[in-house]
Structure 1
Amino acid sequence: MGCECSKLSSCCWNSEYNEAVPQDHREENEEKGEADDLPAFREYSIDTIRMATSGFAVENIVSEHGEKAPNVVYKGKLDNQRKIAVKRFNRSAWPDSRQFLDEARSVGQLRNHKLVNLLGCCCEGEERLLVAEFMPNDTLAKHLFHWEAQPMKWAMRLRVALYLAQALEYCTSKGRALYHDLNAYRIVFDDEANPRLSCFGLMKNSRDGKSYSTNLAFTPPEYLRTGRVTPESVIYSFGTLLLDLLSGKHIPPSHALDLIRDRNIQMLTDSCLEGQFTNDDGTELVRLASRCLQFEPRERPNPKSLVTALIPLQKETEELRALIVQVPSHVLMGVPDVAAAVPLSPLGEACLRNDMTAIHEILEKIGYKDDEGAATELSFQMWTNQMQDTLNSKKKGDVAFRHKDFKAAIECYTQFIEVGTMVSPTVYARRSLSYLMSDMPQEALNDAIQAQVISPVWHFASYLQAGALFALGREAEAQAALKEGSALESKKTPNS
């Protein structure tokens, strides 16, 4: 006689979910294992990171909690056009530089397509920085709790759960079972809108590894007793994420478990999901969440068991397989397809065909209108003789640039730049183009990068980088810069 307990009770769960993973499931879990296209972990200089983030510009902050967060995350771009996310710890974190480097190097050995991979770190003076892949499509928290266009579909929520379980299984297999403060802000979406687990949570949050920064209502019960994170604690946090996915809200586990015990599952389910899944599917997800939230850590499943439990939910029938597996994530998420061709503006077309004359005409036509506040500052300081001489150098450079005397333009703009009293992205852009017209592409690239440091969202700086990279024969990087310039320009003139 089989067990007659409710599907939502716990007496039958251990034997059912802790069995060995079948071979076919194991093979599915291993697909897309190592991300071989990524560079090896390396240490970056602070100057490189400062340049990549435009001097840690406020415009480049991507942390959910903004500039005042203890550890701020910035977006940036390296010289090779690779986009990065940089986590900058506060000065009191990681006082032991050797411990920080050892921990970062260990995490940096992981390479998997379900992770946001750690590319490197920086440890100079009091600076402690982590450098990871940049994920452009926001966090799970934003898509789940603060959506604007559409609520997340059931199929996508199941995919998030599976990918997260697979990421945890991979980390566990590589000896990194501990994950600190697993929550909806730690899951981000890549270029193709596939969910990935942030590598930042694999690093200790504090010098002793005891940190657990979520609200106490969501904290694993054993953490309140011991103050330490264990692999079982990570599974508890995974259970809270399953509740997030099911409800579309951040519900305290104790309240959710009360609803489950009272069989009040409807109160737990996001009303936006109505008609998107069967009762059995919903029950199975609730059942798995309940297992993860067991008070006793030893009663919770391990990551491999999570993967085993989640795969059938996504492949129960041929029809469901077509719906969930074959539809790309960007379609389910309603985000643009990065592989689709982006129409280029006249400026972008000029860069693509290396038409320097057309670029010169456009740069000459826009003048200095993209120098935010620069003209006002310059006029304010005109009363000093030194500043008057500096302005004269700039004016002479502008005349030479207009008449295509690029050698003279380079000399005059250099005099203006070297004084260092004022900064102007347009001057750097004009000198960059002058270098390009003088067959000096490396100097042109350096100036285009400097223009972007001064004005991080100025599309012209990206276009000039593309022109210089094309001239240097760095085709792939040039295409990336061209794409970024086009994206920045479209944001500036959305109706054009």
Structure 2
Amino acid sequence: MGCEFSRLCACCCCCSIEPNGVIAKSHDVEKEEADEASDLPSFHEFSIEQLKMATSGFAVENIVSEHGEKAPNVVYKGKLQNQRQVAIKRFNRSAWPDSRQFLDEARAVGQLRNPRLANLLGCCCEGDERLLVAEFMPHETLAKHLFHWETQPMKWAMRLRVALYLAEALEYCTSKGRALYHDLNAYRIVFDDDANPRLSCFGLMKNSRDGKSYSTNLAFTPPEYLRTGRVTPESVMYSFGTLLLDLLSGKHIPPSHALDLIRDRNLEMLTDSCLEGQFSNDEGTELVRLASRCLQYEPRERPNPKSLVSALVPLQKETEQPSHLLMGITQGGAAAAMPLTPLGEACLRMDLTAIHEILENLAYKDDEGATAELSFHMWTSQMQDTLNSKKKGDVAFRHKEFKTAIDYYTQFIDAGTMISPTVYARRSLSYLMSDMPDEALNDAIQTQVISPIWHIASYLQAAALFALKRENEAQIALKEASVLEEKKNIT
């Protein structure tokens, strides 16, 4: 590797990356972009109530942001009424005091539609609330797969694909007038259903009103940001260089240290030992050269996204291999390979009698704390009437007198003195038995609001959606129910 590295050090200091001309998009890429645009809804402004419903009241169980519940801006997993899974970023109350500025920014980012982005689907701007709604990416972040892997380290071919897809995302954003990206790092790259890497749209909007865009350690920020506190398109290229170092090393190495290793011709110290034998000297040399150019002190000496794409395309390996195979991820997520339980099978077959038997046998064992609350309130006559409504509803439900069960369960719910997810679940099935699928779906959703991780709620949503002939949404709900049930059985 010695002579290759000598050549590298010479070109790192004095050569610039010359694009090999504009790479024309293939018909496949153009088709992929067209399909992405047609599959996604147009930008939508949501109410806070809709997003509360989607996240079960912003339940802690639905927090998916890497930094946890105490982060200034928390990201939640949510599910809209049409069963589309979304990521919802909720800003702290001091961010975006100017509602008009927030809406203008969100609408502009919401016009972007590209398969290399986790696209922005909508926002919410009510009172002090500022939220963004984006596509949900189920396979976590690059940081998780690169730094905290559990099964296998990321393959070299996949690392090169991440670099290319990220460059293509930045090139697309630049072509649409959105060249600024705030705090580009390994947490901003997420993986979709097919395990393809995508750039989170959240970074296309600034993080806070004071314009501080780099939440990472200052050792990783562009030199000009430390001088001026401002982000420029060239700053994004510097951050891209730090990501190339991450991909090469499998660690988050400060750029100054990495450049010292490069100047000392110590490529071995810079390379992830897990990659041994997976790439040639030329490939390693070229990636280090790209990183070095991106990390130039003077912003004007850094490449632009188009030249990065041109340089990364020839490096790609195993291009016919789908990303999910390179990543060792089962396509469609864990539920796709998970066998259905008896309840899942009953929902899939729309065997309502079998669902009824399972719910009857389950009784109220999943109503946590309900029994203690009932005994405490037994002495009030109003509570006694409410309990009697529930008991009569249970008798009717057991004897399959579903219209009567609906009436009594409705009396219990309308009294408002107690909340029982099981009552909502039983009334949901009673509605299904009475050929009222819309009402059944509403009750199933309400069940999930009360008890966000209860698998029964998702199973009933699936059954109601099958009854409404909404097959795709029903399959999504069924998979989600299977995952929740599996988690419950493990714990």
Aligned to 2:8: 7
Displacement of 1:388 in angstroms is 2.5
Structure-1 residue corresponding to 2:479: 483
Partner of 1:317: none
Letter in 1 for 2:33: G
The answer for the alignment partner of 1:311 in structure 2 is: 313
Offset from partner CA, 1:263-305 (integer Å, 9 cap, x none): 1111111111111111211111111101100000000000001
Looking at structure 2, the residues matched to 369 and 305 of structure 1 have their Cα atoms a distance apart, in angstroms, of 61
* Letter paired with 2:304: N
The AA in structure 1 aligned to 2:483 is A
The residue identity in structure 1 corresponding to 2:22 is: V
Moved more, 81-90 or 393-402: 393-402
**Alignment pair present for 1:473 and 2:469:** yes
302, 321, 324: which one pairs with 1:327?
321
| Alignment correspondent of 2:386 | 390
Q: Distance in 2 between matches of 1:493 and 1:13?
A: 59
- 2:343 aligned with 1:347: yes
What residue number does 1:17 align with? 18
Q: Does 1:381 align with 2:347?
A: no
Matched, 1:174 2:176: yes
Instruction: Write the distance in 2 (CA, Å) between the matches of 1:288 and 1:377.
Output: 64
Shift, 1:342, TM fit? 4.5
Do structure 1's residue 93 and structure 2's residue 87 form an aligned pair? no
Question: Whole-Å Cα distance in 2 between the matches of residues 242 and 5 of structure 1?
Answer: 20
- What is the distance in 2 between the residues matched to 1:468 and 1:203? 38
Aligned partner of 2:330 in structure 1 is: 336
CA gap 1:22/1:198 in 2 versus in 1, 3 angstroms: closer
Match of 1:68 among 64, 67, 70: 70
**Secondary structure at the residue paired with 1:8?**
helix
* Deviation of the 1:209 alpha carbon: 3.5
> In the alignment, is the contact (CA less than 8 A) between 1:29 and 1:166 conserved in 2?
no
1:434 aligns with: 430
Moved more, 195-204 or 269-278: 269-278
SS at structure 2 position matched to 1:17: coil
Query: Can you list the C-alpha shifts for 1:405-430, whole angstroms capped at 9, x where unaligned?
Result: 11221111112112222221111000
393-402 or 219-228, larger mean C-alpha shift: 393-402
Matches within 5 A, 1:116-195: 116-195=118-197
Q: Is the 8 A contact 2:20 2:311 kept in 1?
A: no
Instruction: Name which of structure 1's ranges 137-146 and 334-343 shifts more when overlaid on structure 2.
Output: 334-343
The Cα of 1:121 is off from its aligned counterpart by 0.4
Displacement of 1:12: 4.9
Please state whether the residue corresponding to 1:389 is helix, strand or coil. Answer: helix
**Aligned partner letter, 1:73:** V
Taking the aligned partners of 1:22 and 1:330, their CA distance within structure 2 comes to 26
The CA deviation at 1:22 is 4.1
Aligned equivalents of 2:367 and 2:18: distance in 1? 61
Q: Name the SS for the 1:359 alignment partner.
A: helix
- Check 1:152–1:202 CA distance in 2 against 1; reply closer, same or farther (3 A cut): same
Map of 1:110 onto structure 2 = 112
Q: Deviations over 1:164-222 (max 9, x none)?
A: 00000000011000000000000011111111000000011122534322211001000
Q: Answer yes or no: is the 8 Å Cα contact 1:42–1:121 preserved in 2.
A: yes
Please identify, of 110-119 and 274-283, the stretch whose mean Cα deviation from structure 2 is larger: 274-283
> Which 10-residue stretch deviates more, 145-154 or 83-92?
145-154
Distance 1:40 1:392, change over 3 A: same
Do the aligned residues in 1 keep the contact of 2:19 with 2:310 (CA within 8 Å)?
no
Aligned mates of 1:446, 1:384 — CA distance in 2? 31
Q: Is the CA contact (8 Å cut-off) linking 2:225 and 2:231 kept in structure 1?
A: yes
What letter corresponds to residue 454 of structure 1 in structure 2?
A: I
- Do the aligned residues in 1 keep the contact of 2:86 with 2:136 (CA within 8 Å)? yes
Taking structure 2 as the reference length, the TM-score comes to 0.94
Q: 1:156/1:405 Cα in 2 relative to 1: closer, same or farther (>3 Å)? A: same
Provide the rounded CA distance (Å) in 1 between the counterparts of 2:276 and 2:373: 58
CA distance in 2, matches of 1:28, 1:291: 30
Q: State whether residues 444 and 468 of structure 1, in contact with CA within 8 Å, keep that contact through their aligned partners in structure 2.
A: yes
Q: Does the residue aligned with 2:193 lie in a helix, a strand or coil?
A: coil
Partner of 2:410: 414
Aligned equivalents of 1:254 and 1:12: distance in 2? 18
8 Å contact kept, 1:116–1:196: yes
Uncovered stretches (5+) of structure 1, i.e. residues with no partner: 315-319
| Deviation string, structure 1 residues 212-264 (Cα, Å, up to 9, x no partner) | 22211001000011110000000000000011111111110000000010011
Determine helix, strand or coil for the equivalent of 1:129: strand
Shift of 1:482: 1.9
Q: Which of 443, 457, 460 in structure 2 is aligned with 1:461?
A: 457
Asked if residue 33 in structure 1 is aligned to residue 33 in structure 2, the reply is yes
TM (norm. structure 1) is 0.93
State how far apart, in whole Å, the 2-side matches of 1:259 and 1:102 are: 44
What is the alpha-carbon distance in structure 2 between the residues aligned to residue 32 and residue 12 of structure 1?
Answer: 38
Q: Which amino acid in 2 is paired with 1:401?
A: F
How many residues are aligned here?
A: 482
How large is the RMSD of aligned CA atoms in angstroms?
1.9
Equivalent pair of 2:178/2:204 in contact (CA under 8 Å): yes
| Residue in 2 that maps onto 1:366 | 362
Q: Secondary structure at the match of 2:32?
A: coil
Q: Distance in 1 between matches of 2:281 and 2:372?
A: 65
CA–CA separation in structure 2 for the residues paired with 1:111 and 1:143: 25
Q: CA deviation at 1:399?
A: 1.1
Matching residue of 2:207: 205
Query: Is the contact made by 1:469 and 1:477 (CA closer than 8 Å) also made in structure 2?
Result: yes
Q: Distance in 1 between matches of 2:222 and 2:337?
A: 47
Q: 1:29 to 1:12 in 2, by over 3 A?
A: farther
**CA shift for structure 1 position 147:** 1.1
Code of the residue aligned with 1:370 in structure 2: it is D
2:296 counterpart residue number: 294
In the alignment, the residues of structure 1 paired with residue 26 and residue 442 of structure 2 have an alpha-carbon distance, to the nearest angstrom, of 48
Partners in 1 of 2:357 and 2:13 — Cα distance? Answer: 76
User: 1:20-50 deviations in whole A, cap 9, x for unaligned?
Assistant: 3244x67786562241211100101111111
SS in 1 for 2:199: strand
